Amino acid sequence: MVDSLERIFDGEPAGKILHVDKHVPDLIALAPGTDLSKTAAYRRGLIILQDKASCFPAYLLDVKPQDGTCLDACAAPGNKTTHIAAILKSQHQSRGKPRIWACERDKLRAGILTGMIDLAGCQDIVTVKAGQDFLLLDPEQKPWNEVGSLLLDPSCSGSGIIGRNDIHAVTLPSTIENSHVPDKSRKRKRHVKTDTKSIVDEAGEEKQELIQPGDGVGRLQERLKALSAFQLRLLLHAFRFPNAQRISYSTCSTRAEENEHVVIAALRSSEAKQYGWHMLGRDEQINGMKAWPFRGDIQVCQGRIVDGSPGAAQISDACIRCRPGTEEGTQGFFVAAFVRSAQEVITHELGPDFDQDGPKNIESSIGDSFNAEDDEDWNGLSDDPSASTKHSQQ
């Protein structure tokens, strides 16, 4: 075991060393080229291959027993869902009714999600809603009115993904022996069959492209407008869940249009005001995320907020960014959290792009023709590995 990632990246023999991460519990880093896909631990779901940055949303959400059920709104392929399950199981909160709802509108991707849930051995606390569009859920109806926390990791441009052409494709094990400790009432171990028709990358993520290298500036801006509008709609819908107290929002994008712009638009929305949502400040974040050095882009925030307002510094410091190619070994990533409480909500003066009802040029750029069903083209990337990192299933 080594005390720094630098030793991992220095090219020491694969499989000979490991580093225990200092930011995310139960996360280890192995040398590039280490292949765990054929190991018993991987095939039995004891470890999940995942980029470090993509572990941040579930960790930042910081689900607690008293929060009620958790809803993963765009759950496929399931890495973040299984990470939440691991966190809950580490708190011994795996008994009783399912504590996690995993929604996936696309039925093919829902099959991959189900396979990942089975692989990780957490089907006892996760219920998959195959074919369920998050935007069509009625927050006032059961069981959704019992949701206390939501994880939103929607389709995005994938601009933070690095080394995509160098990723080795693997398949999920076709037969997985569920290795979590069985209940005493069970007479034998269960064998779970999973669908292996879809090729996934080393982190279990489907390889899909949204923003193509050959896209012109006009096409790029058109796609970013559509994506940011959709991302904002998901976030505002999450604000409407009556018993929700915490929301994490993340993308594997480096583009401000999908990150700080969406966050600021959500903060200034009528939904945020009506339901009392504000950002989880850096000083309120769980320790590993509070200590993370890379924060939001303050210049981007200043460009969206009137000069002289303290809001830009507070918003950017509450946002978390991961930069590809740094000593931390992550892909490009963005995550922010929202909380709902009786605490005073900071008011932010807005620039010319906003009015009292929210952003003028995000959802309105799409108009009435944009709806949930129009999103078929945006079943995009959520994360991809740039270094071999794993979280363990408890």
Q: Give the catalytic positions in this structure.
A: 252
Distance of alpha carbon 320 from alpha carbon 14, whole angstroms = 30
What gap in Å lies between CA 65 and CA 87, rounded to an integer? Answer: 11
- DSSP lists the bridge partners of residue 391 as 27, 48
Could you give the count of Cα atoms lying within 13 Å of 92 in the half-sphere of its Cβ?
Answer: 0
Pairing of strands 246-251, 18-20: unpaired
- Report the distance separating Cα 118 and Cα 110, nearest Å: 12
Coil, helix or strand at residue 321: strand
Extract the tokens encoding 298.
């303050």
Instruction: Name the one residue in this structure whose structure tokens are 């859920």.
Output: 137
Q: Do residues 67 and 246 lie in contact, with contact meaning Cβ atoms separated by under 8 Å? A: yes
250 residue type, one letter = S
Asked whether the beta carbons of 385 and 167 are under 8 A apart, the reply is: yes
Helix/strand/coil for 252: coil
Local structure of 310: helix, strand or coil: coil
Tokens of 1: 């075991």
Non-local CB neighbours of 374 within 8 Å, separated by 6+ positions: none
Closest CA to 109 of 125, 128, 124: 128
Dihedral, 383, 40, 20, 120 alpha carbons, nearest 10: 50
CB 151 within 8 A of CB 61: yes
> Which 3 state secondary structure label does DSSP give 20?
strand
